[in-house]
Structure 1
Amino acid sequence: MVYRDYNISIVVTIFISLGLSIININTINSILIFGQNNVLSDVVCEKPGIKSISASGALKSHPPKNVIDGNQNTRWSVSGIDSWVQVDFGEKRNICEIDISWYKGDQRSYSFVVEVSNDGKNFKEIQSTRSSGTTNDFENYELKDSEIRYLKIIVTKNTENNWASINDIAFNMNKEPDQNLSDPKTEPESPFIPTKGYGDNIAVAADWSCGTPAKKTVKNVIAMEPSLLVVPGDMSYDNTGDCWLDIISPINDLVRITLGNHDVDEGNPESLAKQYIDHFKLPNTYYSFDYKNIHFLMLNSETDFDVGSKQYNFVLNDLKQIEIDPNIEWIITVFHHPIYTTATKHSPNEKFRDIYHPIFDQYDVDFVIQGHVHNYQRTYPIVFNGHNPDTPIVTDQHKNTYVDPTGQIYLITGTAGRQNHELIGQANYNADQYKGFGFLNLMLSNDGKTIKGVFYSNNNGEIIDEFVVQKTGAIKPINPDRNYQDDKNDQDNLQSNPLDSLFSDILNSTPRYK
C-alpha cells in the first residue's frame, strides 16, 4: 500500500462555544423526529402520539403548541438565554433524528442542546450543535440512539439576539426495537460464508453506527476476505469513534476512510475528526493511495473545496500525476456527500458536482463512490452535462456490462448499518438501487483489466446488484456534441457487446453466501 506524499493540512470544523455573550434569540420553525429502524430490516415508521408539549415561556401569539400544528407559518417564540421547548410522548420511544426548521434560519445560526428523560425530572444531554444559518427549510440532526419519553430542546444562543423560535414539529417513530440493541434472536444461526472469488476483493460501505446491522456488515465483509475496506464516511455517530473502531478492529489495517458530516459534527468535532486521522495515520483529510493498478482519490466533502482551494489544487495535481503513471489502470474517487441521487432524504451536493465532475471526466476517473444517503444506488456510466447539470449524460445504457465506458459509474453505499432512507422513484441515470443493509464488493481480475461489482444484502447474503467493467486499452474521447441519450435507439450499440461471453463467465462466477 503506497500513500501519495503531500503536505499535511488537517481541516476540522470547530463550533463556537455555547454561552458566549452574544445577544441570543431562540427561534425554531419546525422539528421532525424520526424513530429508529429494526435491527435487521428496513425502516418502518409511524406517527407517534404526543401527550403534551410545554416550554420555559412563550409569547401569547406564539405558544409552544404551534410547533406541532404542521404549519411552518406559525411558531413558538420567547426571549431569553437557555429557553426550551419540551415534548412528552406519553411512553418511551426510540428516537434517532430531529429535523428542525428555524425561524429566520437563513439569517441566524442557532446553538442548541438536546436533552432526554424518562421521568420528566432527570435529563441528560445527548446532542449539542448548531444550525447552519443558511436555510429556512428543515435541517437534520441525527441523535445518539436512545429510548426516551421526554425530549427537550434548549436554545442557548443565536448570532443576532436573545430569542428562541420554532415554527413546527413533526415526529416519526419506529415500531421496531433500537438497532443498537443487540437481540440474539435476530442473529443468523450460522455465519455467512462466501464461496471463493476469482480476484482481489475490495469491500465498500458507509454510514455505520455501532449497532447490530453494522456488526453484521463487518462479519460479512470479513467472510469475503477483502484486501481493503473502503469507508466513505460517517462511522460511529457518537462523540468518539471508540465503538466503531472496536467493531472494525479485526480488519483495522485494511480500512481506508474519508470523513462524513457525522465525523465532524458529533460532540467535540475537533477531537472526533482528529481521533480518526490519528488512528488511521492519515496524511490529510484528503489524500490518495495506490492498490495494485488502482488509484484511490479520497476527498473530504465536508471541507472547503472551492476552485483554488487547497483540496481543489490537490485533486488537480494528483490526477495530473496519475495521468502519466503507466502502472495505474483504474481511478476510483471516494467522498461522503453524493453529487447525484434518486430523490431521498438528502439532496445532492450540487456545488461539489459542478466543480469536480468535469475534472473527473477530463482525467478519466472510472468510479465515484459516496455515502451520506442511507441506501444503495448505481448509475450507468455518465458524463457531466454542462447545459443541465442536474441531468448527467448517460453514455452506455447496458444494464450491467460495460466495455471501455466513457464517464464514471457513480455509487452510493450508505448501507453499513445506520437506519435506511426511502427511495422515491428512480433517477433515469440510475441502473439499479436498493434500500437495505449490506456492502458493495469490487473484484479485480483478468490481469487488472476487469472490475466486477456485487452488492450483497445482509439478508442472507442475497445478491442485489452486479456489474462488470472491462478495459481493452482503447481510447474513447468524450464528444460534447454527441447525444449519448440517443444511443438507446441504436439497437446494435445496445445489444452487441464484444465481450458478452467473458461477461457471462464472470457474472456466473459471483461469490455467493452459502
Structure 2
Amino acid sequence: MNRSIAARLLLAAFFTSPTLLHAAPDCLAYTATGALASADDGDGNVAGLTQDGKLDTRWSGPGKGAWLQLDLGRLQKIAAAQVAWYDGSGRTYHFEVSTSKDGQNFVKGFGGDSVRNNSLQTYELSNTRSARYLRLTVNGNTSNDWASVTEAKICGPAVKTPAPDSGPSLPRKPYLQSVSASSAIVAFRTSSSCTPRVKYGVGQDTSLIANATRSDRYHAIKLPSLKAGTTYSYIVEACGSVTGVRQFRTAAGPNRAIHFTAMGDYGTGGSDQAKVLALLNKSTRHGDFMLTLGDNAYSSGTDSEFQNYVFAPMAPLLRETPFFPSPGNHEYESNDAQPYIDNFYLPANNPERAEYYYSFDWGPVHFVALDSSCAIGYSGPCDDNRQLAWAEDDLAATNQPWKIVFFHHPPWSSGDHGSEIEMRRDYAPLFEEYGVDLVLTGHDHNYERSKPMKGDAVAKPGERGVVYAVVGTGGAGLRSFDGSQPSWSAFRGLMYGYLSVRADQNLLQAQMIDTNGIARDSFTIEPALKKAASSLPMAARRFTSSAPAAPAATQPEAEPPGPREQPGVEPAFLTAPKPAPADTPEAVADKPTPAR
C-alpha cells in the first residue's frame, strides 16, 4: 500500500472487544475496536489518538469533508456520539455524524456546529439505530478548513429508570419554579387537603426538610439557602404520597457555561406537542432550564387546560427542569390570565409584585420576561407604563455579559400575524440602548430568525443590532408564510421543535432543533460592539415609574403567593372534564387584538 492510500485509510487503536467505558452522564460509551480517517496531517496526529483518553493528543485531517471513523467490531445500538474538539474554545466546527452497518452505506444522524469549549460534547442521533461504524465528517471550522479532534466516543442508549412514586398518585406532579442560585420552589397539587413537606439535599442526599406552613390542596414549598450551580435531589411527601427521587440544578454563577431551551405556542395536548416533548424529555436535550414564549395552554388558558395540556404531558420534564414562562394572548381569554398566575410561582421582582413580567440571572445571562399582551392593549391588572419603566431600569442595572428578553408577540415576523409594530416601537429602543443580544417570541406558528436589527432596518456593518427569533413551534398547528422571504429575515421555516441555546462569557450559540432531532438553523452571537449597561444615566432614561423598582435579585417569599383552597368547593383541576386536544386550526385561532 502506498503512502497516500495509507494516509486515507489509517487504522489504529485496536482493542480486543467493545467493552463499556466511563463517560460523561447520559453516555454509555463503547470502546472502539479501531479508528481510521480520510487522512492526517503527516505529523503523527493520527486517528487512533482520539481513543487514548487524553485531551492533549489529537487527530488532524486536512480539507472540508475530512472524516474520522470508529469501528465497534460488531453491530451495537448507537444513540449518540461524544466529541472533544481541538481548540474547541477558540473555534466552531461544522460537522455531521452518520452511522453504517457495513462501512459503505452511511445514514446521517446529526448535523450542526460545535459549542465553544474543550470538553466532551454529546450529540444525540435523530434515533437510536443498530450500526457498527460511526463517521464524523467535518466541513471546516471558523478558523480554517481542518478537522481536529482530541477524543471521540460512541454512546449506547443510557437506561435511566426514574425512581417510582408510592402511595396515592398526585393529581399534579411536582414542578420546579423560580429556581435561582440560592433557592427553589417545588410546586404540586393534592387530591385532599394536607400539610406536606419536601425532603432534599446536595447530590443524592435528602436529609434536609422544608415544611409547608398550612394545610391545602395547592402547594408551593420553598427550598432556601441553596448553593449555586449545584445538583440537588428531592422527594415530596404529601397526603400519603411519596414521590420518587428527582434531581435539579440551581442557577449557575456568571463564570459557568449554560444550556437552555425555548419554545412557544405549545400547550395543545395534541400529537405534534407530544413529538416535541419526546425530544425534550431526554436529559441530553432539555438543558438546565426552559423558557416558554406564550400561548402555554390552548384554547383559552383555563385551569383545566393548564392541567391537561401543560402539567400532565410535561410532568417528567418539569420534575427535573426549571420552567420560566411568559404569557400569551390565549392566556388572556380566561379572566385576564388569572389561571396563568394561579398555576405558576414566578420571581415577581417588579414594583407591582406581579408575575406577568420579571427577570432573573442564570450563568452569564440576564433574562427578562415581558407581558406583550399587556403592552399591546389587552385589559387586565398589568400596567404597561410600569412594565416599560421597570424594563428600562432592569436592563440598565445588570452587568451580565448577555441579555435575553422573551415574550409572545414578535416585533419582527413575516408569518401569518406579521410584525407587532407596537412592541417594536415601544420596546426595541430599550433593547438597542441597553445591549440586548437576543429577543425570543412566539405567536406566529413557525420559526424565523432576523438579521441583527436596529430601528426599522438591518443594522449596518460595524453597527450593533438585536437578533429576533420567532419560535412558535411547540405544537400548535403550523401556519404558512405569506409572500416571499423579506430581506431582513436570515432564516425561516415551517417545523415543530425547540430552540437550544448555549452561552458562556464569550459566545452565545443557538440551534433550532426539529422533531427529528436535526438542527435546521444555527447561529452565533459574539459580544462585539456591546455597550455598557450603565451608559445612560437614570435621569436621562425614557420611562419613569412612581413606584420604586425591586432589585433583580429579589427571591421568592417564604410562602409564595398563589391560589388557596376554598372551603366546601372542589377545585376545578379535580372536577373539570378533560378537554379535547386543541390540535385543530379552530382551537388555536386567535381572537382580534383589542383596540388601544
TM range (shorter): 0.3 to 0.5
Q: Please report the TM-score for the alignment, with normalisation by the length of structure 1.
A: 0.47
Q: Relative contact order, CA 8 A, sep 6+: which one is greater?
A: 1
- The structure that has the greater radius of gyration is 2
